[in-house]
Amino acid sequence: MADRRSERAADELDFERILAEHFPAISRLARSFTNSESDRQDLLQEIAIALWKALPHFRGECSERTFLFRIAHNRAADWLSRNKAAAAQADFDLPDPSPGAEAALVRRERMGRLLNAVQRFPSGQRQTMILALEGLSYREIADVLGISESNAGARLTRARAALHELLEVDR
């Protein structure tokens, strides 16, 4: 009984540490799949619950970061399929902590354009671009999405080209 309690306490500490360490990135990932702050909060809660349930099964075959992004990606994809109609209308609420009203406005507009462009991508390209924007390597992207590393690279190349085209057209 005491061993089980200590295992549970260790799981709780791991859960809190992993979530705190990667929360900003997971929050950005959730934002890319949602169109409102309340939806993002709901999705983040689903991701946290899924992490809590999956953590005891973590075998260390990949990094904690990759493990968490895989869970977050799967939750976000499920959420998107359940809320497709709502997610089709992008109405992003992007807080900006940068100093100065003008700088904040410029940054918010750029981020809005980027997220609007990424929202238009087919699912595979969108997922790949979001993970790349979070700094994941091709290998980590491949692990998260369950595809080959070369496929991850090809998707990212197509996504970058599409992003460049969309941002040029929107100017």
3-state secondary structure 134-148: CCCCHHHHHHHHCCC
Write down the CATH number for the domain with range 100-171: 1.10.10.10
Distance separating alpha carbons of residues 62 and 89, to the nearest angstrom: 35
Distance separating alpha carbons of residues 23 and 153, to the nearest angstrom: 26
Delimit the domains of the chain by residue range: 1-91, 100-171
Summarize the confidence of residues 39-66 as an average pLDDT. Answer: 90
Q: Is the pTM of this model over 0.75?
A: no
Grade residue 92 by pLDDT with cuts at 50, 70 and 90: very low
Q: How many helices (H) and strands (E) does the chain have?
A: 8, 0
- In this prediction, what percent of the chain has a pLDDT beyond 70? 82
Distance separating alpha carbons of residues 129 and 114, to the nearest angstrom: 11
Condensed to tens digits (0 to 9), the pLDDT of residues 111-163 reads: 778 878 888 888 888 889 889 888 899 999 999 999 999 999 999 999 889 88
Residue 45's alpha-carbon distances to 19, 56, 114, in angstroms, are 11, 18, 25
Architecture of domain 1-91: Orthogonal Bundle (1.10)
Summarize the confidence of residues 76-80 as an average pLDDT. Answer: 88
Residue 41's alpha-carbon distances to 79, 105, 159, in angstroms, are 12, 24, 27
